[in-house]
Copies of this chain bind each other. A is one copy, B any other.
Amino acid sequence: MAKRSWTQNRDAKAAKLDSIASMLDGKFVKTQNAKELLESVIKPGDKVVLEGDNQKQASFLSKVLASVDPQKVHDLHMIMSSVSRPEHLDIFETGIAKKLDFSFAGPQSTRISQMIADGTMEVGDIHTYLELYARLYVDLIPNVVLVAADKVDHDGNLYTGANTEETPAIVEAAAFKDGIVIVQANEVVDKVPRVDIPGDWVDIVVPADEPYQLEPLFTRDPQNVTELQILMGMMAIRGIYEKHNVQTVNHGVGFNTAAIELLLPTYGEQLGLKGKIVPNWEVNPTPTLIPAIESGWVKTIHSFGGEVGMENYIAHRPDIFFVGKDGTMRSNRAFGQMAGQYALDMFVGSTLQIDKYGNSSTVTNGRLSGFGGAPNMGSNPHGRRHSTPAWQSLRPDDDPLGKGQKLVVQMVETFGSNKKPVFVDHLDAEEVQKEAKLANVPIMIYSEDTTHIVTEEGIAYLYKTDSMAERQAAIEAIAGVTPVGLRSNPKQLADLRRRGIVALPEDLGVQRGQAKRSLLAAQNMDDLVKWSDGLYNPPAKFRSWS
């Protein structure tokens, strides 16, 4: 029997690198040769990871990829955690790419829907971030990864700084499996401020024509927080944070959770909760946390990614944030999601639709957005074995072999900004499943994992319900005048309140009249800057006063 080769990947990589020897100066390829580079090292059908975090984008390399000759490079299997830029989808129209595995597609969610419907794109599947990274080591091992760095030295050592995000997780999968690691760099320097990724792991560096795209996705202007959101925030603080003694938390992006962050130093202080709840956070450095940090509520924050404008503030608060010896933040999306899943008492998020059972989704008609990290953090990790007071407070009374549960909280107003009811009998996601031919209905957070729902009406303690009928009744009770909510009746509500399954503001000692904007620790962006001692530097689009 002829012996097989056991070095096919290594040989293929060596051949690819040989073919570009003439354009290589050490590990460096000139900016203007980037197109030829990609045409030489990416083969038809290759699995290619293109770094698109939801903040940082390898935008130079994505533009170059979109410019290659589809005769030379075609039918790629693209793996992207975030589909954010037009050319991320253009490559499917030109035939450069064929199949997509992804996690989140906020800005491009409508176009993805269309492209699936008309057959332009084949979707592998929708993932949470962590499971997409996991598959890079098992059944989606990449041939080529295209990533972005702030600075690189002449040996290829990378400084990725505050926006390290997913770069280490995707680079490692290629670097140790004979894949090719290609880096676009904002700047080439003699010495990087610190090494985030060893040069050993990098094959090719291309100086970019301009710095990588970076969006301030987690900034919420306090002036847009409404009094309904303040009311909901007060209920959450009393009825969930205090009640369950929550110590470790992730807040999703949104004004509901921004309201809570801005209420801790005021309303939380009035309640005497300072030092008693939420010292440890897994969350991006959201500016609305500044007042809580400055007034001593927050002890530590680990982050998935950075946030534009927060750099200097973070550098001056190393006791709070994860910061390197060079003085700038280090983020890590893979480890952040790992922490978000396994180390937290509570996930608090929002959604676009909740069905009568408590299943929720941000996938709506014509919009296949994916879920990012929400299903990972917003689910009960069955593999967890350590206990905390909050976790244990959800332990069922009647099962000697029972254990605690993660608090998964959905905060929604009963009607969305589009005036449509959030509470519905059937999720639009059920239709989307059929249209996009998905294996399952694209539910973001399942009913079985959802422990609390907060609306402007009250809180439903779903974990206390004993049957699906009771769960539905609890949801109806806080669903306001939506069609689902109109099924509730006073007798049922009274019974649910009596049994602690539903709480209205008055049950929690929350005074509706106190839910005023004046209760927020910061009224606007300028206030956040003042709280930060001038260290927070909001992006221009948030600077109304200058």
Q: How far is the CA of A320 from the CA of B8 in the complex (A)?
A: 10
Assess whether A297 is interfacial by the CB under 8 Å rule. no
Q: How far is the CA of A175 from the CA of B325 in the complex (A)?
A: 8
Assess whether A111 is interfacial by the CB under 8 Å rule. no
Verify B127–A322 contact, CB threshold 8 A: no
Q: How far is the CA of A380 from the CA of B371 in the complex (A)?
A: 19
Q: How far is the CA of A318 from the CA of B469 in the complex (A)?
A: 55
Verify A342–B130 contact, CB threshold 8 A: yes
Q: Which of B131, B178, B281, B448 contacts A384 (CB 8 A)?
A: B131
Interface residues of A in 115-145 (CB under 8 A from B): 124-128, 130-131, 133-135, 137-139, 141
Give the shortest distance, in Å, between A451 (CB) and chain B (any CB). 12
Interface residues of A in 12-52 (CB under 8 A from B): none
Q: Could you say which residues of chain B place their CB within 8 Å of the CB of A403?
A: 439-441, 443
Q: Which of B201, B335, B382 contacts A137 (CB 8 A)?
A: B335
Q: How far is the CA of A126 from the CA of B248 in the complex (A)?
A: 18
Q: Which residue of B lies closest to A133 (CB)?
A: B338
Stretch of A59-67, A191-199, A257-265 that contacts chain B: A191-199
Q: Which residue of B lies closest to A444 (CB)?
A: B385
Verify B400–A430 contact, CB threshold 8 A: yes
Assess whether A147 is interfacial by the CB under 8 Å rule. no
Q: Could you say which residues of chain B place their CB within 8 Å of the CB of A280?
A: 138-139
Assess whether A491 is interfacial by the CB under 8 Å rule. no
Q: Which residue of B lies closest to A377 (CB)?
A: B383
Verify B131–A385 contact, CB threshold 8 A: yes
Verify B247–A137 contact, CB threshold 8 A: no
Q: How far is the CA of A418 from the CA of B19 in the complex (A)?
A: 62
Give the shortest distance, in Å, between A358 (CB) and chain B (any CB). 11
Q: Write the A209-249 contact mask toward B (1 if CB under 8 angstroms, else 0).
A: 00000000000000000000000000000000000000110
Verify A130–B338 contact, CB threshold 8 A: yes
Q: Which of B128, B175, B300 contacts A383 (CB 8 A)?
A: B128
Q: Which of B138, B157, B322, B359 contacts A343 (CB 8 A)?
A: B138
Assess whether A339 is interfacial by the CB under 8 Å rule. yes
Verify A382–B449 contact, CB threshold 8 A: yes
Interface residues of A in 440-459 (CB under 8 A from B): 440-443, 446, 448-449
Verify A448–B382 contact, CB threshold 8 A: yes
Q: Write the A333-364 contact mask toward B (1 if CB under 8 angstroms, else 0).
A: 01110110111100000000000010100000
Q: Write the A384-415 contact mask toward B (1 if CB under 8 angstroms, else 0).
A: 11110000100100001111100000000000
How many copies altogether? 2
Q: How far is the CA of A178 from the CA of B330 in the complex (A)?
A: 12
Q: Could you say which residues of chain B place their CB within 8 Å of the CB of A138?
A: 248, 280-282, 300, 302, 339, 343-344
Q: How far is the CA of A199 from the CA of B195 in the complex (A)?
A: 8
Known: A318-B9, A332-B172, A334-B335. A383 touches B375 (CB 8 A): yes
Verify A441–B137 contact, CB threshold 8 A: no
Assess whether A176 is interfacial by the CB under 8 Å rule. yes
Q: Write the A185-209 contact mask toward B (1 if CB under 8 angstroms, else 0).
A: 0000000001111111100000000
Q: Which residue of B lies closest to A164 (CB)?
A: B176
Give the shortest distance, in Å, between A204 (CB) and chain B (any CB). 13
Interface residues of A in 367-386 (CB under 8 A from B): 371, 375-386
What residues make up the interface of A, taking CB atoms closer than 8 Å to B? 4-10, 101, 124-128, 130-131, 133-135, 137-139, 141, 157, 169, 172, 175-178, 194-201, 247-248, 279-282, 296, 300, 302, 316-320, 322-325, 330, 332, 334-336, 338-339, 341-344, 357, 359, 371, 375-387, 392, 395, 400-404, 430, 439-443, 446, 448-449
- In the complex, given contacts A134-B338, A176-B322, what are 20 additional A-B residue pairs having Cβ atoms less than 8 angstroms apart? A9-B318, A127-B386, A128-B385, A130-B338, A131-B383, A131-B384, A137-B282, A137-B339, A138-B281, A138-B302, A138-B344, A172-B332, A176-B324, A195-B198, A198-B198, A375-B382, A375-B383, A377-B383, A401-B446, A403-B439
